[in-house]
Amino acid sequence: MGRRNPDRYTAEDWKTAGRTVGAIIANRWLVYTECDLCELRIRADLKRIARERGANFVLWGRATTCRRMGCPGRVTFWVRPHGAGGDVAMT
């Protein structure tokens, strides 16, 4: 990422810089999930994901079911890169 102003990066730029779980871990970025229905936020355990799915697993464009008991909602993954103007939806 060669630009000097990280706050001007697009979601596609961040996706390129942290395409896989291994790259996100190496970048030390925070990833969390947020349920679209009940709004539960949980920090993603990237090391567990890498252990179970592999370091080359891609979270971008993925969604999963909410972990709150009884909630039928789906969660969106969000990433918080260093220097970003805000959190980036990994949709």
Model confidence over 2-60: pLDDT tens digits?
Answer: 556 766 788 898 999 999 999 999 999 999 999 999 999 999 999 999 999 999 999 99
Element (H, E) at 24: helix 21-27
Nearest-angstrom CA–CA distance, 60 and 68: 22
Interatomic CA distance for residues 22 and 65, integer angstroms: 23
pLDDT at 7: 67
In a domain? residue 51 = yes
- Structural domain boundaries, residue 66: 10-89
pTM: 0.86
Residue 2 lies in a domain: no
Q: Is residue 33 domain-resident?
A: yes
Q: How many domains does the chain have?
A: 1
Answer yes or no: is pLDDT of 73 > 70.
yes
Show Cβ contacts of residue 3 under 8 Å, excluding neighbours closer than 6 positions: 9, 13
Whether 5 maps to a domain, the answer reads no
CA 21/CA 38 separation, integer angstroms: 26
Rounded distance, CA 15 to CA 8, Å? 14
> Is residue 61 one of the residues assigned to a domain?
yes
